[in-house]
Amino acid sequence: MSGDNIVLSFLGFVSTAIGLPVIAVIAIGRVGSAEKLASRVHPVFGTIFTITIYLAIGPCLAIPRTASTSYEMLINAYDPSISLFRVIYSALFFIIGGILALNPEKLTKRLGRVLSPILVTLIAVLFIFSLFCQENTMLEASDAYKTHPFQRGFQEGYQTMDALAGLVFGIIISLNVRTMGVREEEERKECAIAALGGGLLLLIIYLMIVFVGIAARGLAVDVTNGAEVLSIVAYHISPKYGRTVLALIFMIACLNTAISLLSSCGEYFNSLMPRISRTGWIAIFSTLSFLISNIGLDEIISISSPILSLLYPAAIILIALSFLPDSDKLRYTYIISVTLAILSSLLMITGVFSSAFSWIPSSLLGALIGLIIDRKKPSMPS
């Protein structure tokens, strides 16, 4: 859809899909956890915001989308005639994912050492096939990509949810760095290197996928989501194997994500409410994700857009403020700027504000006012 505005669109996309997650991981390495960071607004807000993030990247949005996305690729590849195939597929998907998520100590071996290299290899295969695609005409941008390409790309980056994941999982990188024998004074540096290295790899992968889209954009007509676009491209590249390879890519990627998120969400909610075991939480989230996944990919994306448009501005402000000197003492700065970011986002979602960036000037003004107050008054007690 970005067509000849691909450069600006891609820059907007990588800002929130790569740049922001990298910065989020670095910020959490400095602060300690997402809850500690958000609690600088207020302890209650810190808990609610962290729970909301876990629900968004967990059973309410991200986990159901893993099943819906992989299902879309599978039906495009094989077009099964069974009317209940979506229900059967998602049930099997979450049964397998839930069982594997019960053993987190084995996730590194299963996901990092086996499935992830396979996933990257399959993406590379699709990219190499696309080099021989004949349909490579750059079309004119459409919809919002024509008038506001950077802004649209920026908002599409929200859908990866990686910045939110960086906030709650950044501490995992810190913990792994410590177990590798890194000295405490070098921990932040090593976490930053890890984040930047991961961001670079993501950039390479996204560039490969973008090239696939550019190479055959003219073939993707009358489609409603990216899964259909890539399926059409894969078929054109190789009518016999293209869609099968793509279905494998998405099944592995989505199962990876579902297992990791089920395990992490189960762990977190068990720490909040230990009366329900971690296994019980994983069963609850698997069931909830199964139910939501059956509404379909388009519907999940449409539901997630306003929710992410509300969460992301607050997350961006929290991350940005964490890099200010003595940021843990700037209570009013956090309170005013984050409050204005959320209010501006609500006005944008309800249509009062037309620009997706309307939260930026109000948040900056709030931060300025808060800084003036914080510099003149004693810090509020934590």
Residue 151: inside a domain, yes or no?
Answer: yes
Nearest to 254 by CA among 114, 110, 97, 101: 97
Residue 315: inside a domain, yes or no?
Answer: no
Residue 166: inside a domain, yes or no?
Answer: yes
Final residue of a structural domain among 302, 337, 363: 302
Number of other residues whose CB lies within 10 A of the CB of residue 203: 15
Model confidence, pTM: 0.84
139 and 65 co-located in one domain:
yes
Final residue of a structural domain among 302, 332, 353: 302
250 and 341 co-located in one domain:
no
82 and 217 co-located in one domain:
yes
Nearest to 232 by CA among 257, 210, 250, 213: 213
pLDDT interval class at 134 (50, 70, 90): low
Cβ pair 168, 57 in contact under 8 A: yes
269 and 373 co-located in one domain:
no
CATH number (domain holding residue 239): 1.20.1740.10
Q: How far apart are CA 323 and CA 30, in angstroms?
A: 9
Q: How far apart are CA 304 and CA 58, in angstroms?
A: 12
Environment class of 98 (CB within 10 Å of its CB; exposed 0-12, middle 13-18, buried 19+): buried
Residue 237: inside a domain, yes or no?
Answer: yes
pLDDT at 320 over 90: yes
Tens-place pLDDT, residues 252-278 = 888 888 988 898 899 899 999 999 999
Supply the range of the domain harboring residue 359: 324-382
How far are the Cα atoms of 1, 98, 121 from residue 280, in angstroms, in the given order?
43, 10, 35
How far are the Cα atoms of 80, 124, 231, 278, 380 from residue 72, in angstroms, in the given order?
11, 21, 9, 30, 51
Question: Per the structure, how many domains does the chain have?
Answer: 2
Whole-number pLDDT of residue 98: 93
Cβ pair 323, 94 in contact under 8 A: no
Tens-place pLDDT, residues 144-163 = 889 999 999 999 999 899 99
Residues 6 or more apart in contact with residue 193 via CB below 8 angstroms: none
292 and 366 co-located in one domain:
no
255 and 177 co-located in one domain:
yes
Q: How far apart are CA 245 and CA 133, in angstroms?
A: 16
Residue 117: inside a domain, yes or no?
Answer: yes
234 and 369 co-located in one domain:
no
